[in-house]
Amino acid sequence: MTIKSLAMSKKKPKNRSRQSRKPRAKKSKARTINKRNQTVSKSIAFSKKLFGSILSLIAVGGFLFAVWPRISLSPGISLDLHKPFETPFIIRNDGYLPLCDVKYSLIAERMELMDGSTFTDSGANMGNVIEKLDPNKSSALFVNRIFSMPPNNVKNARIYILVTYKPYLVPFTFSERIRFKTKINVSREYIWYEYYDNK
């Protein structure tokens, strides 16, 4: 046997080991690719679910924002600036749905007269009902029937107006309790302004 044939016989086992390793390498590479594909698929599915949940929350929030009632109450133009209860209060529908069966009452939490006498938690239901108040519309609430007094007879007063109403097509009654105080200016004219407390 020649030296060349011996060298060739020694190289053959090396070629066989390399050939046997190639299928294994291909299989491991295919497994790695499959795992990556599965991970990507799971990430895409999770992203779709998360995006769908966010869209659902936005839709629910938009619906609640549209149907949730909002009102505002503010003092109007006084019929007699020297009589605080000659000032009507203006209720406005700031929501997107009409309001039905709007009722209101006025309660004097505390009122002090010039002679020193005081009233606490006195008032009454106005009895009037606004059958329907459309969006961006307003109506006047007259409170002079509850307290009728001579001019400049009230030293100070704290009141709240309780308003109840039902949004259109919503089977629930909502209520708002809004407080006001009087202030007397240098001309001895009464001015109402809204105030807040922790009650």
pLDDT in tens, 149-173: 889 999 999 999 999 999 988 888 9
From 67, 95, 122, the end of a domain falls on 67
Among 67, 101, 122, identify where a domain stops: 67
User: In this model, does residue 94 exceed pLDDT 80?
Assistant: yes
What is the model's pLDDT at position 53? 74
163-177 b/e (C-beta count within 10 Å ≥ 16 → b): bebbbbeeeeebebe
Residues 62 and 104 in one domain: no
Same domain flag for 80 and 171: yes
Range of the domain at 133: 71-195
pLDDT classification of 19: cutoffs 50, 70, 90: low
Would the pLDDT of 132 be above 60?
A: yes
Q: Are residues 157 and 124 located together in one domain of the fold?
A: yes
Pairing of strands 118-133, 138-141: unpaired
Does residue 118 sit in the same domain as residue 135? yes
End-to-end, the C-alpha distance of the chain in Å comes to 111
Contacts of 17 (CB under 8 A, 6+ apart): none
Dist. CA 71–CA 181, nearest whole Å: 19
Domain count, the chain: 2
Q: Between these two residues, 71 and 145, which has the higher pLDDT value?
A: 71
Q: What's residue 90's pLDDT?
A: 95
The whole-chain average pLDDT of the chain stands at: 81
Distance CA(95)–CA(112), nearest Å, equals 36
For residues 45 and 188, the model is more confident at 188
Confidence of residue 126 (pLDDT cuts 50, 70, 90): low
Kindly state whether residues 101 and 136 are assigned to the same domain: yes
| Residue 1 and residue 32 in one domain | yes
Per-residue pLDDT at 64: 62
Q: What is the pLDDT of residue 93?
A: 95
How do residues 54-68 score in pLDDT, each as one tens digit? 777 776 666 666 678
Q: What is the pTM of this model?
A: 0.67
At residue 21, the pLDDT reads 56
Q: Are residues 90 and 156 in the same domain?
A: yes
Residue with more model confidence, 170 or 83: 83
94 lies in the same domain as 175: yes
Q: Is the pLDDT of residue 140 over 60?
A: yes
> 82 and 152 share a domain?
yes
Same domain, residue pair 161 and 78: yes
**Cα–Cα distance for residue pair 109/112, rounded to 1 Å:** 10
- The mean pLDDT of 181-187, rounded to a whole number, is 92
